[in-house]
Chains A and B, each alone.
Chain A
Amino acid sequence: MKLLKEPLVHFLGGALLVFAFFWATGSNRDPADYEITIGESDVARLRTGWVQNFRRPPTQDELDGLIDQEIKEEIYYREALRLGLDRNDPLIRRRLFTKMRFLDNQEDAEDNPSDALLQKWLDDHPDKYALSSVYDLEQVYLGQDPEPSTLAQLDDLNQGTVEPNTIRQPISLPAKLVQTEASQITRQFGERFAAKLSTLPVGQWQGPVESGFGQHFVKVTAKIPGKAPALEDVRKSVTNDWQAAQTARLEEAAFGKYRKQYDIKVSGRE
């Protein structure tokens, strides 16, 4: 075998033997991997931790114990990594996942959004912050199951030949609302009633309009549609919402950054 006489083969073979030896004996080592230094700052950290828990500084013995524990932990930690114990462990996986998510959230986080940012958020979500529509209205409660003859009196109401109070059934709801926000009307009369209001023409009796209490004749006398609020009116909600959205957005963005580096194939998925 001529090949066996090649010097290069000897060299490589020799190297392989060396590697095999180191591998088998475990002494294949980069000295830096096997250096543990407990510096002053580490000692200070251990000491602080102790004080937090026990409300007094550790004795020398206790401090030595803490340091020995720290060394032992570090050694086990590194050996565990060498043995690959960090792999395929669902607990470690989950833990690292949580840590990554946390780290990602911190990046670019804005703690004190400027007014410009908040104003933009407000402008981008006009419906969410729009002030309630405001109504002036009168209503006549007709009970839960009004007679057809009662319902027929709508025209008389509009012609002014019948007084609202002659039709009205007793209930402790206001007969007249002045400058009342739609949200307040919803609260008082229920959602169906408030939703119907926006469709009613101004200035005449309409109905029957259904509420949670029963049927009503309603006359909207003025309607001011909800307008966009000034930032100052809704600063608190806007700030809270902006912060909550930022958290979600940053998390998504951070993940997206990683995600796009990966080719992902799922069987059965296009």
Chain B
Amino acid sequence: MMRKALLLAACSTALVISGCGKDGGSGGSGAEVTNTEYPEQVFWGDTHLHTDNSIDAFGFGNRLDTEAALRFAKGEEVTATKGEKAKLSRPLDFLVIADHSDAVGATKALYEAPRIALLGNDFLLRWYDMMHESDEGSLAVTAELIDGAAAGTLPEGLFDPEESADRIKSLWTEHGEKLDEYNEPGKFTAFHGFEYTPMPGGDNLHRVVMFRDGGDKTGTMLPFASFDAGDPEQLWAYMAAYEKSTGGKVLAIPHNSNVSNGRMFAMNKLDGSPIDEAYIKTRALREPIVEVTQIKGDSESHPFLSPNDEFADFGDAGWDKCNLSCGKDMPPESYGGSYAREALKRGLEFTLKIGANPFKFGMIGSTDSHTSLATADENNFYGKHSGNEINNKDRALAPQNLGTRRGRFGWHYLSSGYAAVWATSNTREAIFDAMMRREVYATTGPRMQVRFFGGFDFTEDDTADLVKTGYAKGVPMGGDLSGGDGKAPTFLISALMDPESANLDRIQVVKGWVDSSGKSYEKIYNISWSSPDSRKVGADGKLDAVGNTVDLTKGTWENNIGAPELTTWWQDPDFDAAQNAFYYVRVLEIPTPTWPVYDALKFGLTLPDDVIKIQQERAYSSPIWYTPAATTS
């Protein structure tokens, strides 16, 4: 007991010392930010970035702190942990640093503690020496840490939150001050946040938690840890308590449902009891958006669930066999609770059955980078963690994962994604509020601009002034439609390519609905595509492929297929006014090379056949829900 106390005292001392740097910056940038009348601009950001304060990120070697992460996201050049000069091709507009709240700062503190404080604690001393000895040793410690946490075999009280409260308090304060210094309304938004990381049996139930507020409010509470509170309902209670005591606002973003073993969107509560109305209302309030694409795979859809969707397998390889820790196999029967499209359908089932929807969420992408570098471009990808940064030639083919080294290789990790937010200004308030109303979409990296409006009265001519008409006569992505007197809903949809990326292949609408027996269905409509004169929809409903211009020997593609912009009006041809439904948009780019192709060219590697070398990057909009007038949503 005393040894542990000594360690913790040492750790907190180390942190207090290293935390006594400069104090907060002075004043803001002066100019008041004016909100536009409606969201005119899409803002790009990453809501899920780890710095050296995350126990695993530091263990994996990351030595870049909060400030480096902020500077990089703003478009500045920073030196990556492994020495490369790193810079984004374009700045981001906002950033949420989401370090793991569990034992936040602990590996850094352990590493920086005086060794003498650990003599006598063989367990920690061994880790300490491994970390100091080599990068490999540090990786091994991190793997043991994650495996131990997943398996529940870490020494009891090792990172007891109460005992490390002082360390965490000073870290949280210092980190928050830095965020406030870098938050420049109208120019760059730095959000306070953390990641809540429960993983019962290695099943991922992680959430990013982000605040609308500054350090004056967030500093009154500590980030909520999962070690002793692994039920998301406990997190929601924490969020409610925060809002009540500070008057602030906070939301949570589930992610990596793909490695949750069916538990992220389960039909039951964590303890196995049935979901009830109170649970549904709380969940819908606290979790308005889900991160569906990121480094550890894509959670939008799976071919097992959507056999008629030839694009459903994006980012699934390597992630659908076993759970986060890879300690457990995931049978396909579990996928229903693991993928967002199926969850949206389950949400409709709940709506019919209980009158409320626990899975009424919008969709975003983010990186989950553990390098402090928010990268999602294929040709500028810094990897999952600092051991796999851009100058590691073995990273694409090396077996990965989290201790077990089973089934996952470097190339399974995606250079994905970003969060796109239609907001009235680049401020904490406007971006947060847009997330609450789900006026957001996900991309796997490219910054295509996607507009999606639903209403009952749009006509084909309305595409001429799509945005203004969209807001005037309908609702944007994330919104609700109800009533309509039996008229089939109409939609205005446009997608403009990323001017620094590839042309667009097509726009699709994904529709989900539920019949009166409570069974849910899905259908995919191809509604706009390039070269409509030559590309036709076949009898099977599938559209001719766009083609492929990728030159793997050069890592290039040509924008001589596809279209720079697709714009259309669409009306649901299969509408039944009595059925609850949702509609969301999927936009596909033409085929482009994946990051391992750029690695192969740079390092002279030969990639085996099973490595995915060509992909169609994409965007997923938040849905628009239709609810028959009689029921409530």
Chain A positions within 8 Å of B, measured between CB atoms, are 49-50, 52-55, 62, 65-66, 69, 73, 76-77, 90-92, 94-95, 98, 102, 105, 109, 111-112, 144-145, 170-173, 186-191, 193, 211-214, 232-237, 239-240, 243-244
Contact = CB atoms under 8 A, between A and B. Distances in A.
Contact of B71 (A170, A239, A244): A244
Nearest to B498: A212
B129 A91 contact: yes
A94 B30 CA distance: 44
B129 A172 contact: no
Contact of A190 (B12, B67, B184, B499): B499
A77 B499 contact: no
Contacts of B129: 91
Most chain B CB neighbours (cut-off 10 Å) among A76, A105, A187, A191:
A187
Contacts of B499: 188-190, 193, 211-213
Contacts of A213: 496-497, 499, 564-565
Interface in B139-181: 162-163, 166, 181
B5 A172 contact: no
Nearest to A234: B29
B579 interface: no
Given A235-B30, A244-B67, 4 more contacts: A54-B163, A212-B498, A236-B181, A239-B26
Nearest to B564: A213
Contacts of A189: 499
A212 B115 contact: no
A54 B132 CA distance: 29
Given A95-B114, A236-B28, A239-B25, A212 B496 contact: no
Contacts of B400: none
A52 B132 contact: no
B17 A102 contact: yes
A111 B22 contact: yes
Contacts of A232: 29-30
Interface string B368-389: 0000000000000000000000
21 contacts: A49-B5, A49-B6, A52-B12, A52-B166, A53-B5, A77-B116, A94-B132, A144-B503, A172-B466, A172-B567, A190-B499, A212-B501, A213-B499, A232-B30, A233-B30, A235-B29, A235-B30, A236-B29, A236-B181, A243-B22, A244-B67
B2 interface: yes
The 3 tightest CB contacts between A and B, nearest first, are A212-B499, A190-B499, A49-B9
Contacts, number: 111
B27 A235 contact: yes
Contacts of B132: 90-91, 94-95
Given A91-B129, A172-B494, A240 B25 contact: yes
Contacts of B404: none
A243 B22 CA distance: 8
B9 A53 contact: yes
Nearest to A109: B22
Best-surrounded residue of A102, A172, A191 (most CB of chain B within 10 A): A172
A213 B503 CA distance: 8
Interface core residue of B9, B119, B166, B498 (most chain A CB under 10 Å): B9
A66 B162 CA distance: 21
B112 interface: yes
Contact of B29 (A66, A172, A193, A233): A233
Interface in B59-77: 67, 71
A92 B30 CA distance: 48
A171 B564 contact: yes
Contacts of B8: 53
Nearest to A187: B90
B559 interface: yes
B496 A172 contact: yes
A209 to B, nearest CB: 13
B310 interface: no
B560 interface: yes
B23 to A, nearest CB: 6
Contacts of A193: 499
Interface in B473-499: 494, 496-499
Interface string B97-124: 0000000000000001011100100000
A136 to B, nearest CB: 19
A92 B128 CA distance: 12
Contacts of B112: 98
Contact of A112 (B5, B18, B26, B498): B26
B31 interface: yes
Interface in B172-209: 181-182, 184
